[in-house]
Amino acid sequence: MSTLVVVGAQWGDEGKGKVTDYLSARADMVVRYQGGNNAGHTVVVGDREYRMRLIPSGIFHDKACVIGNGVVLDPAVLVQELDYLAEQGISTQHLRVSGAAHIILPYHIRLDELDEDRRGTLRLGTTRRGIGPAYADKSARIGIRVSEYLNRAVFAEKLRRNLEEKNRALAALYGAPGFDYDVVFSQYQAYAERVRPLVADTSLLINQAIDRGENVLFEGAQGTLLDLDHGTYPYVTSSHPVAGGACIGAGVGPTRIDRVLGTVKAYTTRVGDGPFPSELAGAEGDWIRERGREYGTVTGRPRRCGWLDTTIVRYAARVSGLTHLALTRLDTLAGLERVRICVAYRRDGDIITDFPQELESLEACEPVYVDLPGWPPFKEPDSSADLPGEARRYLEEIEERCRLPLALISLGRERGQTLAITDVFGDPPACRNQAARI
C-alpha cells in the first residue's frame, strides 16, 4: 500500500495515460497535480478510445479522482469532459476538484494565441489553451481560484477588475477586441454550478487516503523537459511536471512519496519548438511518425520524432528521483533492421554525459549513438522472457544506461498489452513518514 508519482521522462506524450489507466486498477485514488487541458491522455478500453485532457485517467476504473490545486482548470473543458463521460456511461461521482486550483478564462486563451502569433519565428509552439497566461496570473496574484469563482460576489468583482486590465492590454498590444463582462460572467456562472458539487479540500482528502494506507497515484502531465525550471526553457510549459510538482500541486509532503515511475517512450518525440538532439529529420523520422501515429492529441500537430536519448532519461531520473521506468511503444519500433540509442552528446570535441542546462549549449550538441540490432514484429508474449532476443537486448541496454529497473513494458494501446515486472504499489520503504496525524 503506497504512493506513486507517474512522470513523463521526455517531452510529454510518453504514454502516461495508458500507464496510469493500467496502474489505476490497483490504485484507490488518482490525482492530477499540474498542467491543464494542454495534456492529452489517451486510454483504450476494449474497442473504445478515450482522450482525456483534464480529468485523471483513473476515472475509467471508477476510482476516486482528484484535480489538485496545482492544475489550471478551464471550466468549459471540465463541463465538456463531464458530459462526454456521462454519454459514455462512465461515472464521475468520485471526482473532486481543489478549491485552490486556478481557473482559465477566455482572455487567457485569447492572449495565448495572440502572444504566440506575435512571436513569429520565436514562437514556443504552445497548445494555445491559455495555460501560460493563467499560470502567469496565478504568479502575479491576480488569478481566480475555484473557491473564489464559486462565490458570486467575489467572482464578479475579480472578473470585472481583470477584464478591465486585459481588455486594455488586448487593445493596446494587439488592437484586438476585448470581452464583454456580462457575457463572460453569465456564461461562467452556468459552468460554476457544474463545478460546485465537486469542490473539496483535496490536500486533506489525499493525506487522509495515505493515512488509511491506500494506494495513491499522482498522474503527471507533460514531461521533464517541459518543466518550467528543469526543462528546455523557454520551450517549456508553465508548470512543474517533475515529481516535486506533485508535492506542491497536490498538497502532500515529499516524505510521503514512496516511488516515482518515469514513463519513457521507446523513441523520442517532441511537439512544439526547441532543440532536440536525437531528432530524425528524414525518412526514418517519417517512418516512426507514421508507424506510431505520432500526431498531437490536443492540437493534431505532427510530432517531431527521433531515437531514444538516455542522456534525457538519466536527467529525468536526477531531477525527479525516479525509482523505476515504464517503457512504452516497444511494438512501434518492431521491423527495423537496426535501432539506435543516443547515449551522450558531442560538443566542440568534448563528450558530454550530463544533460546541459543552457539552451545554447544543448543546441550545439551532436548525438553519440550506440547501434543495436532491430527486432521483428512479435506476438504478445506472456512475459518479457518471451520477447524477441533483440528487443530484450534493447531493454537491458536501457536499464543499464539509465541505471534503473523497468517496472512495466507497454506493447500496445490496450490494457492487456502490458507486461508488469515490478509491483510499484508494494510495501512502502521503511523510511516513509507515517506521521501526518498528530
Query: For binding to ligand IMO (CB under 6 A), which residues are involved?
Result: 8, 12-13, 38-41, 124-127, 129, 131-132, 221-223, 226, 235, 237-238, 271-272
State which of positions 292-321 bind Mg ion (CB under 5 A): 297
Please count the residues of the chain: 438
Binds 226, which of Mg ion, ligand IMO, none (CB < 5 to 8 A, cut-off by type)?
ligand IMO
Residue whose C-alpha cell reads 482548470 in the numeric block? 73
Least separation in angstroms between residue 86's CB and ligand IMO is: 23
Q: Is 240 a catalytic residue?
A: no
Nearest to 35 by CA among 305, 191, 250, 210: 250
SS3 382: coil
Q: Which residue is nearest to Mg ion (CB)?
A: 40
Closer residue to Mg ion, CB minimum distance, 202 or 232: 232
Residue whose C-alpha cell reads 534493447 in the numeric block? 394
Whole-angstrom distance, CA of residue 272 vs CA of residue 235: 8
Residue whose C-alpha cell reads 464578479 in the numeric block? 156
SS3 242: coil
Whole-angstrom distance, CA of residue 129 vs CA of residue 81: 15
**Does 13 sit near Mg ion (CB under 5 A)?**
yes
Whole-angstrom distance, CA of residue 196 vs CA of residue 71: 17
Number of residues that bind Mg ion (CB under 5 A): 3
Contact 241, 224 (CB under 8 A): yes
Closer residue to ligand IMO, CB minimum distance, 131 or 317: 131
CA-CA-CA-CA torsion sign (329, 339, 267, 27): positive
Closer residue to Mg ion, CB minimum distance, 37 or 202: 37
Binds 8, which of ligand IMO, Mg ion, none (CB < 5 to 8 A, cut-off by type)?
ligand IMO
Closer residue to ligand IMO, CB minimum distance, 207 or 332: 332
Binds 27, which of Mg ion, ligand IMO, none (CB < 5 to 8 A, cut-off by type)?
none
Q: Is 286 a catalytic residue?
A: no
Least separation in angstroms between residue 284's CB and ligand IMO is: 21
Closer residue to ligand IMO, CB minimum distance, 99 or 231: 231
Closer residue to ligand IMO, CB minimum distance, 75 or 223: 223
Least separation in angstroms between residue 15's CB and ligand IMO is: 9
Which residues, listed in sequence order, are joined to residue 73 by a DSSP beta bridge? 103
Active-site residue among 21, 41, 61, 115?
Answer: 41
Least separation in angstroms between residue 208's CB and ligand IMO is: 27
Binds 129, which of ligand IMO, Mg ion, none (CB < 5 to 8 A, cut-off by type)?
ligand IMO
Binds 3, which of Mg ion, ligand IMO, none (CB < 5 to 8 A, cut-off by type)?
none
Mask of contacts with Mg ion, 32-71, x by CB under 5 A? --------x-------------------------------
SS3 4: strand
Q: Which residue is nearest to ligand IMO (CB)?
A: 272
Exposed, middle or buried, 32 (CB in 10 Å: 0-12/13-18/19+)? buried
- Our CA dihedral for 343, 348, 349, 353, rounded to 10 degrees, sits at -30
Least separation in angstroms between residue 292's CB and Mg ion is: 13
Contact 369, 342 (CB under 8 A): yes
Least separation in angstroms between residue 232's CB and ligand IMO is: 9
Strands (E), 174-257: 199-200, 216-219
Give the up-direction half-sphere exposure of residue 100: CA atoms within 13 A in the CB hemisphere.
13
Nearest to 351 by CA among 316, 402, 311, 321: 311
Q: Give the residue numbers annotated as catalytic, written as ranges.
A: 13, 41
Where on the chain is the footprint of Mg ion (CB under 5 A)? 13, 40, 297
